[in-house]
Amino acid sequence: MNSLEKNTAEALFGALKKQKYHMVGSHSAVKRCKWLYESIINGRPCYKQKFYGIKSHRCLQMSPSLYYCTQECLFCWRAQSGDLQVTWDEMKIPKVDPPEEIVEGCFKAQEKILTGYKGNSKTDWRKFQEALRPKQVAISLTGEPTLYEPLGELIRTFHQKGLTTFLVSNGTLPSKLSRLSQEPTQLYISTCAPNEQIYKKVCRPEFPSAWERLNETLELLQSFSCPTVLRMTLVKNHNMAEVGDYAGLVKKANPKYIEAKAYMHIGFSGLRLGFENMPSHGQVKEFAEKLAEKTGYRILDEAPESRVVLLSRLQKPVHVGAD
């Protein structure tokens, strides 16, 4: 099954299968994004199609580090050590699968996911045919992808197959990001606390210098040639104050975009937070307006259905999606 202890692997595998994760090798997974379904069945794409032009129906959502991360964020939908009465070392992927195998496994998993659409009378058949040939991969599902040592090779392999890549990292391993052998199409750094005190409470890092490391990553961000994004997951009553401190982090990183997005009460986050911790779109917008005032970034777009607001210094976002 994988290199975790047998009882741990069985508990995790069972729970994640129920949540419709498709396991790939020993530490990766693909999961159908809600917006893949919405795009093919109801003609409603995700906000990243609206902002950046990627096609939701041709997007594959995966993780190369399903059970592994350097943080235990309160708002995370990932199964964390201790959640299912089993524990494991979350900081180390014990057996490393080769990138080519992961990419092939992801394509097969996506095909399996799409098989379910054949019996749906509302399926858009043109989109369905296109979906069988994914053009975009979100390396973001769960876990910290920089824990997967050959991450640059994985990104390169996806690019060689004609896909664009959006990589989401929590920024706690700057040395891994600086050594990435291939940049993604767009790089996201989760910046979900304005200062160290709140960071420790909300993002619950697994090692003491994580806040310093995240700040190192923010400083490193300008050395990337790809578009960079600070992703702020906002949790009501936890990390939506001290906007001035967030502005300081933005100044340090000088990202191309900021995405301010509401926490969603899904997956294992239900063990740690309640529905009342989800801010409304209005509250996210209010946060974004204050941030815009303090940073000089402007609000470019928003998607109320996903409770997300996009900020940038640009006049409009650059589309990276291919047809």
Q: Which of residues 186-245 bind ligand SF4 (CB under 6 A)?
A: 190
Q: Which is nearer to ligand SF4, 71 or 295 (CB)?
A: 71
Q: Does 289 bind ligand SF4 (CB under 6 A)?
A: no
Q: Does 12 bind ligand SF4 (CB under 6 A)?
A: no
Size of the site for ligand SF4 (CB under 6 A): 21
Q: Does 138 bind ligand SF4 (CB under 6 A)?
A: yes
Rounded to whole angstroms, the Cα distance separating 39 from 299 reads 25
| Nearest-approach distance from CB 106 to ligand SF4, in angstroms | 12
Single-letter amino acid code for the residue at 229: V
Rounded to whole angstroms, the Cα distance separating 105 from 39 reads 23
Tell me, what DSSP letter sits at residue 80?
Answer: P
Q: Which is nearer to ligand SF4, 99 or 205 (CB)?
A: 205
The residue range among 69-77, 99-107, 115-123, 295-303 that interacts with ligand SF4, by the rule CB under 6 A, is 69-77
Single-letter amino acid code for the residue at 230: L
Q: Does 146 bind ligand SF4 (CB under 6 A)?
A: no
Q: Does 59 bind ligand SF4 (CB under 6 A)?
A: yes
- DSSP string for 34-84: HHHHHHHHHS---HHHHHH---GGGEEEEES-TT--SB--TT--SPPTTTT
Rounded to whole angstroms, the Cα distance separating 93 from 176 reads 14
Rounded to whole angstroms, the Cα distance separating 216 from 258 reads 18
Using CB under 6 A, list all residues that contact ligand SF4: 33, 35-36, 46, 48, 54, 56, 59, 61, 69, 71-73, 76, 78, 138, 142-144, 170, 190
